[in-house]
Structure 1
Amino acid sequence: MRARVMLDLALGAAVSAILLVYLVWAMLRPEDF
């Protein structure tokens, strides 16, 4: 059960990090859009 919670937290953190990087990249390179 604890492993499932840790997995969910890890996936949530990974998704948040990817979205954050994408947003920063989009703001730094607006000309590509």
Structure 2
Amino acid sequence: MRDAAIYLESIGISSIDINMGCPVRKVCKVGDG
């Protein structure tokens, strides 16, 4: 992930969205998160 972030920064990307999911039961039980 570090190497990818360095590469993306080098080509002008200024932010990365890292979605780690949501462990809340009401979210997980419907396949979201």
Fold shared per TM-score above 0.5: no
Name whichever structure is richer in helix by fraction: 1
Q: Which has the higher contact order (CA 8 A, sep 6+)?
A: 2
TM-score (norm 2): 0.36
TM-score (norm 1): 0.36
